[in-house]
Structure 1
Amino acid sequence: MAASLIISAPASGVGKTTLTLALARAWRNRGLNVQCFKSGPDYIDPAFHAAATGRASVNVDSWAMDRATIAHLVNRGMDADVVLAEGSMGLFDGVAARGVSGTGATADIAEMLGWPVLLVIDPSGQAQTAAAIAAGLRDYRAGVRLAGVVLNRVASPRHEDLVRRALTDVGIAVFGALPRHAEINLPKRHLGLVQAEEQAEIGKLIDEAARFVAEHVDLDAVLRSAASWSPQPSANGLNVTPPGQRIALARDAAFSFVYPHMLEAWRAAGAEISTFSPLADEVPDASADVCWMPGGYPELHAGRLAANARFASGLRAFAATRPVHGECGGYMVLGEGLTDAEGVRHEMTGLLGLKTSFAKRRMHLGYRLAELAAPMPGHQAGARLRGHEFHYSTILAQPDTPLAVVHDATGAVIAETGSRRGQATGTFFHLIAEDR
């Protein structure tokens, strides 16, 4: 049985990721086997979890996944001593309309699995009010149990004492209080944290976070507050069809946004994956029967990608006979042109007519339900695909045949339909699951 907890907070930016990484590494340093998960549609945090634990982390998502899928995914924790699931946004934040098994809120996963919540509270600019917030979160939804609180960024011993006393008065355990510590700040950019694979010093940063948290948090008390959890048998695996038998996957700093559970499901279904780097001017494996271009940060490397003629010509040659699919950033690179934040236009591969711009940034964020009007690799026309969209690009032109009718989580039709031309297809959303 594993000691299981969900790390959550009242809001984003409070320190969930740092505390998750620190606890995972601290317990690993004690010889415990730690398994992490990420609640919600974040494809960056699982790589940090893997760096902290040495074990692959995957997403669990109540809007896009059914209970059987979630049960199947969390069963990877069956041999762990500790299971930590990092939440997204605030504890109860989700979408207005229920999805497959919930609204996408971290609380859905906590209630579904019976894992208590370790709450991270940043009491900056307040004192006793922090206790009112924690008590409100504790009492908001029956079935969600609060294990206790870790305070983050306390200003002084007096500040800590005021908050601790107030939390004790309302019956909430305080496991520790972290003063501000600039040395463990994780660098960010416009789509979230700078990716773990781009940070050469990530191991040292996590070690320092673990040392700091172990100094200020009662790790034994936190473990005692966790639920004793045993995985339940799952009748169904992942409902994911690989896009081909041999998949050429773009993989480098510009193309890295792909959900770990998708790659695992492809391999479990018998598919073989070979990677190539467009930034290194590489081309898809000639023996592959499909090419998959994930999202990432092509806008940060647009000039280099535009100059890589071997990559562009190789991708065009591949698409002349076999399917190529792009998600978000990969979709933009399949288009005709990408205008960067400075207003400079860069020629892309031209497999699709899509033109996008970062010169006038506008955030596109949210769950997506797509009903395919035409087939794409791994899915037939009529399939209902669930995914998530997060980017700042503006569509200047999307002239090709729409790939799908795409709805947001409220059911409203949106303009980002995706495209199809010949063997090339693309979407702005990242695929999470297909409706069963």
Structure 2
Amino acid sequence: MVTTPAVVIAAPASGSGKTTLATGLIGALRRAGHRVAPFKVGPDYIDPGYHGLAAGRPGRNLDPVLVGAERVVPLYLHGSQGCDLAVVEGVMGLFDGRIDEHNTEPIAEGSTAQIAAMLGAPVILVVDARGHSQSLAALLHGFATYDSGIRLGGVILNRVGSERHEQVLRAACARVGLPVLGALPRMAELVVPSRHLGLIPAVEHGAAARDAVEAMTDLVAAHVDLAAVAALATASVTGTPWDAAEELAATGESALAAGDSGPIVAVAGGPAFTFGYAEHRELLAAAGARVEVFDPLHEQLPSGTAGLVVPGGFPEEHAADLSANNGLLSAIAEQARRGLPIHAECAGLLYLTRTLDGHPMAGVIDAEAEFGPRLTLGYRDAVVLNDSPLWRTGERLRGHEFHRTRLVAAAPAPNAWAWRAPSGETVREGAIVHQVHASYLHTHPAGNPGAMARFVAAAADFARTHAPA
């Protein structure tokens, strides 16, 4: 197959303007007639929502930590099918990734540099020009020569102060042989409201998010050489695109028994539950589920629901409205008692507690949840402690925590899994109740296809044993 060429948008450090630039570039290239595949490095759920608005197709993630390095290229080939160009937004600084004291390689696992090397794609470095002058040449020289496997294809100068400032910066780039592909003026920042975990998700921000994406597109179209960016794009990978059905078949897990019709798996969506990967629904459907998305703010469980997925998001921002839909909360509690398979991650965990910041929730998990004082963030190497509809005791997997809430007044329950914290302490987390698996840990379904097959099998069993007489 023909590989879609790509450019990787990176920066020396966080806060340089990668998301504005990448989102605007996706929109501007699409406006110029390209079919653009948008990607984000790492476990981020929020930026891909803005990428998706700009591209008119789902934003996807490339995270070797969560899915395994062997799946990165297949997932790239899958997500870029039908496109003539891909834009991959990096994470943090170019060489920043998972912190591992035992790693002696220059490229950290999960870093933007690792993804660029895997794809054989050039890196465009976005530099926050504030405070830079001739010494920019030294910084660029360092990034260009730090690892020979990374090809720095050009620079985009962001927040340039004046015409004279731009001339000095362009001369610095020329000194190290790097072309300047664009120069964005220093101006009032494009206002996209943020909260404690980053930007407000595009689904929540609604029309304002669409307006922001249009403004980013206008800005990039006016100040970046789009033709030069498109000409720079390359990718030197070959292989077979990721395929949900083939991944499931390779696990040896059989989701449906003979005679089973596809069970209805309801997936919570809407403004409160925005954290999800596109491959999740694709795997559920490939396993035989009929996936139906609903909004817990004002809708009920779809008729015939045999499995429920409640993903991450910001339920603490919508706690009063979620609590007001008490008919849904009561139905979920009753169905959980009857053995409905439920997969709840982070926000889903909070939604299943007794209360969230004092607002009554479903009460499936005997705990109270509240907004906490600190951010819990990082990858985890977890071992499964108890069987659930998804995982078996003793299995190992990788996940990612990303939250500012905590559980209080929690009654003892079988934990979902354990991991060793950087401090050396063993952390036991999550709860298994009835056929409910609830935890703070986010997992990527593409890295755990067997769990998706088991969940659909459990849903099919529930549909079969609870069918109306």
Sequence identity (%): 39
- When structure 1 is superposed on structure 2, of 402-411 and 204-213 the one drifting more is 402-411
Question: Match of 1:216?
Answer: 223
> How far apart, CA to CA, are the structure 1 residues paired with 2:192 and 2:238?
32
Pair 1:304-2:312 in alignment: no
Which of 159, 166, 171 is the matching residue for 1:165? 171
> How far apart, CA to CA, are the structure 2 residues paired with 1:80 and 1:204?
24
Question: Match of 1:88?
Answer: 91
Conservation of the 8 A alpha-carbon contact between 2:50 and 2:213: no
Question: Match of 1:316?
Answer: 333
| Cα separation, partners in 2 of 1:305 and 1:79, compared to 1, 3 Å | closer
1:388 positional shift:
1.1
Pair 1:357-2:370 in alignment: yes
| Cα separation, partners in 2 of 1:320 and 1:405, compared to 1, 3 Å | closer
Question: Match of 2:302?
Answer: 285
Normalising by structure 1, we get a TM-score of 0.90
Pair 1:114-2:126 in alignment: no
> How far apart, CA to CA, are the structure 2 residues paired with 1:8 and 1:325?
34
User: Where do 1:75-154 residues align within 5 Å?
Assistant: 75-76=77-78, 77-97=80-100, 103-154=109-160
Q: For structure 2, list consecutive stretches of 5 or more residues without a partner in the other structure.
A: 257-261, 451-469
Question: Match of 2:431?
Answer: 419
C-alpha distance after superposition, 1:304-356 (max 9, x if no partner): 222322121111111122122311111011112222xxxxx222221112222
Which of 60, 71, 74 is the matching residue for 1:72? 74
| Cα separation, partners in 2 of 1:27 and 1:435, compared to 1, 3 Å | closer
Which of 183, 186, 196 is the matching residue for 1:190? 196
Which of 275, 284, 289 is the matching residue for 1:257? 275
Question: Match of 1:342?
Answer: none
- When structure 1 is superposed on structure 2, of 32-41 and 63-72 the one drifting more is 63-72
* Residue-pair matches, total: 428
Pair 1:429-2:441 in alignment: yes
Q: Which amino acid aligns with 1:64?
A: L
> How far apart, CA to CA, are the structure 2 residues paired with 1:127 and 1:323?
59
- When structure 1 is superposed on structure 2, of 74-83 and 396-405 the one drifting more is 396-405
1:413 positional shift:
5.0
Pair 1:202-2:209 in alignment: yes
1:82 positional shift:
0.7
> How far apart, CA to CA, are the structure 1 residues paired with 2:294 and 2:194?
26
C-alpha distance after superposition, 1:272-315 (max 9, x if no partner): 211222211x3322412211111111111122222322121111
> How far apart, CA to CA, are the structure 1 residues paired with 2:247 and 2:192?
32
Which of 342, 348, 355 is the matching residue for 1:337? 355
> How far apart, CA to CA, are the structure 2 residues paired with 1:215 and 1:94?
32
> How far apart, CA to CA, are the structure 1 residues paired with 2:425 and 2:66?
18
| Cα separation, partners in 2 of 1:196 and 1:158, compared to 1, 3 Å | same
> How far apart, CA to CA, are the structure 2 residues paired with 1:163 and 1:194?
33
1:66 positional shift:
2.2
Conservation of the 8 A alpha-carbon contact between 2:119 and 2:237: no
Which of 353, 364, 375 is the matching residue for 2:387? 375
Question: Match of 1:176?
Answer: 182
Q: For structure 1, list consecutive stretches of 5 or more residues without a partner in the other structure.
A: 340-344
C-alpha distance after superposition, 1:125-151 (max 9, x if no partner): 222233322222222222111111101
| Cα separation, partners in 2 of 1:414 and 1:356, compared to 1, 3 Å | farther
Q: Which amino acid aligns with 2:293?
A: T
> How far apart, CA to CA, are the structure 1 residues paired with 2:108 and 2:283?
22
> How far apart, CA to CA, are the structure 2 residues paired with 1:416 and 1:164?
53
Conservation of the 8 A alpha-carbon contact between 1:352 and 1:400: no
1:234 positional shift:
5.1
> How far apart, CA to CA, are the structure 2 residues paired with 1:110 and 1:19?
17
Question: Match of 2:464?
Answer: none
SS at the partner of 1:263?
helix
Q: CA RMSD in A?
A: 2.6
SS at the partner of 2:54?
helix
Q: Which amino acid aligns with 2:323?
A: A
Conservation of the 8 A alpha-carbon contact between 1:367 and 1:409: no
1:231 positional shift:
4.4
> How far apart, CA to CA, are the structure 2 residues paired with 1:61 and 1:411?
25
| Cα separation, partners in 2 of 1:107 and 1:144, compared to 1, 3 Å | same
> How far apart, CA to CA, are the structure 2 residues paired with 1:141 and 1:406?
36
Normalising by structure 2, we get a TM-score of 0.84
Larger % of helix: which?
A: 2
SS at the partner of 1:168?
helix
SS at the partner of 1:79?
coil
| Cα separation, partners in 2 of 1:152 and 1:301, compared to 1, 3 Å | same
Question: Match of 2:462?
Answer: none
1:379 positional shift:
2.5
| Cα separation, partners in 2 of 1:144 and 1:96, compared to 1, 3 Å | same
> How far apart, CA to CA, are the structure 2 residues paired with 1:350 and 1:219?
53
SS at the partner of 2:429?
coil
| Cα separation, partners in 2 of 1:222 and 1:214, compared to 1, 3 Å | same
User: Where do 1:207-246 residues align within 5 Å?
Assistant: 207-229=214-236, 231-233=238-240, 238=247, 245-246=263-264
> How far apart, CA to CA, are the structure 2 residues paired with 1:180 and 1:420?
51
1:87 positional shift:
0.8
SS at the partner of 2:265?
strand
> How far apart, CA to CA, are the structure 1 residues paired with 2:361 and 2:30?
44
